[in-house]
Amino acid sequence: MRELKILVINNYGQFCHLIHRTVRDLDMDTKIVANTTSVEDILDEEPDGIILSGGPSMERVGLCQEYVESIDIPILGICLGHQLIARTFGGQTGAGELGGYAAIDIEVIEEDDILKGLGPRTSVWASHADEVTVLPDEFIHLARSDVCEIEAMRHEERPIYGVQWHPEVAHTHKGEELFMNFFEVCENY
């Protein structure tokens, strides 16, 4: 696989720099970008893909909704990024029953592009303080767990993906595989 340029959008989550390091360690050209960067400046970077990091609250996502609506390249939302994608397309989010970070067993419903090779079950590290509660129209449900019905999703036509869990942390099994699957989407887009 050629070296791709992947922008990591900083939503002030504690793992943003870990996402960046993971992407870099997988031999991709990567850069952390403030979520207040204009769409034009994002496009000037000529990225092959965008990762929306997790973060503390929907009030601090800056221009991420604009990125999702107007930038036509592959986008992966992680935790808060996943929730933001859902909201952008008319889905709903709410408080989860399980709060802080914990190991969760994920059931892969639809392997799809980014979950290829991860099923039928995998163990991940996730926070469910907030979660997607209603799948947006035009999205395909990819994974669920005992604590959250919508652990992963993707847009039916556009290369937009969301996962509730953190593939960048060591506690997540097959996290690097998820990133490599996303890079493959970026390379072929």
Q: Give me Rg for the CA atoms of the chain.
A: 15
153 in Cβ contact with 108 (< 8 Å)? no
79 is known as an active-site residue: yes
- The phi-psi region of residue 31 (left if phi > 0; otherwise alpha if psi is between -120 and 50; otherwise beta) is beta
From the candidates 16, 64, 79, 148, give the one annotated as an active-site residue: 79
Report the 10 Å Cβ neighbour count for 25. 11
From the candidates 148, 168, 173, 186, give the one annotated as an active-site residue: 168
From the candidates 20, 128, 166, 173, give the one annotated as an active-site residue: 166
- Nearest-angstrom CA–CA distance, 151 and 155: 14
64 is known as an active-site residue: no
16 is known as an active-site residue: no
Q: Are strands 139-145 and 101-108 parallel, antiparallel or unpaired?
A: antiparallel
- Nearest-angstrom CA–CA distance, 72 and 125: 29
Active site residues: 79, 166, 168
